[in-house]
């Protein structure tokens, strides 16, 4: 994702990882994805670990949801409507301010692996889903 966006900031993509590799939905093509994945693997192996951390990763959303859930749980212990409102505002501000930085830390230490070992690209397959392309990148050790 990072390489594709470096090459063309206008590219629109969504990606999901899986046990067999990853899927890319968007406005790019098979050759660009293959080339970008190979470059990313090379750069990760060279020590550029931050390449695996994404600003728009779903982990950031999950952190925001977790913070919101904690806020809802805390509101069960508050009886005063005014205090509930203050707690709701405080939780909203906390989510807005911290979900991305905490999400980036969660990616770095919990959800993202940047050490590839012997991982290699096995194949890249492209198909259409409506007007968008779906590209499946299969990897293996």
Sign of the CA dihedral running 63, 68, 73, 75: positive
What pTM did the predictor assign? 0.75
- DSSP-derived letter for residue 117 is T
Extract the tokens encoding 118: 């012997």
User: Within a 10 A sphere around the Cβ of 45, how many other Cβ atoms?
Assistant: 13
Residue 117 CB burial class (10 angstroms; 0-12, 13-18, ≥19): exposed
pLDDT score at 114: 85
Burial, 71: exposed, middle or buried (Cβ in 10 Å; 0-12, 13-18, 19+)? Answer: middle
- pLDDT per residue, tens digit, the chain (141 aa), is 889 989 998 888 889 888 899 999 988 889 999 999 999 999 999 999 989 898 888 899 999 999 999 999 999 999 999 999 999 999 999 999 999 999 999 999 998 888 888 999 999 999 887 877 899 999 998
Q: Hey, which CATH number is domain 1-53+113-141, 1.10.8, 3.30.70, 3.30.980, 3.30.870?
A: 3.30.980
Closest residue by Cα to residue 16 from 141, 135, 115, 140: 135
Instruction: State residue 55's pLDDT score.
Output: 84
Residue 133 pLDDT? 80
Domain ranges of the chain: 1-53+113-141, 55-111
Q: What is the pLDDT of residue 1?
A: 87
């Amino acid at each position: 994702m990072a390489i594709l966006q470096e090459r063309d900031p206008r590219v629109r993509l969504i990606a999901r990882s899986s046990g067999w590799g990853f899927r890319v939905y968007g406005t790019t093509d098979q050759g660009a994805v293959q080339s970008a994945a190979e470059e990313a693997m090379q750069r990760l192996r060279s020590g550029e670990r931050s390449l695996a951390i994404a600003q728009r990763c779903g982990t950031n959303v999950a952190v925001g949801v977790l913070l919101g859930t904690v806020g809802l749980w805390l509101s069960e212990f508050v009886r005063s409507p005014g205090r509930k409102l203050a707690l709701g505002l405080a939780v909203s501000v906390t989510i807005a301010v911290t979900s991305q930085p905490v999400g980036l830390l969660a990616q770095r230490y919990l959800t993202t692996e940047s050490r590839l070992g012997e991982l290699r690209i096995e194949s890249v397959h492209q198909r259409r889903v409506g007007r968008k392309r779906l590209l499946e990148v299969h990897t293996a050790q």
